Amino acid sequence: MNKWKIAFFCCLVLFIASIVFFIYSIIDQGISYTYLKVSYDEQVEANKVLGNLVVRGGQKYSQKDILYLLRQEYPKAFIVEEKNTIRIGSNEFEFEKDRLVMVR
């Protein structure tokens, strides 16, 4: 057999193997993305429920009270207090007339 035929069939086998690997990778990434998206959506929904629960339970506290509680619980955290909001990490507490109305 000629050398070029051997080289051709070796390259053909490598090409087919690489195509199969890329197809497998694409399918695997699609499935992983779907699972991550579903999990993320469930977590966002759970955070909304907990946020609403916190708002209902925290309406008796003023903005200063919640700021004090956050500083007691997380003394090393970077807490930003603006006009009607308190931010700690990615969480934001919104106040209206010194009462908690929304947690994001």
pLDDT tens per residue across span 13-49:
999 999 999 999 999 999 999 999 999 999 888 888 8
Q: Which residues, in sequence order, are CB contacts of 85 under 8 Å at separation 6+?
A: 92, 93, 94, 95
Model-level pTM?
0.60
| Sign of the CA dihedral running 96, 97, 101, 104 | positive
Q: What is the pLDDT of residue 72?
A: 92
The answer on pLDDT for 1 being more than 80 is no
| Domain range list for the chain | 3-103
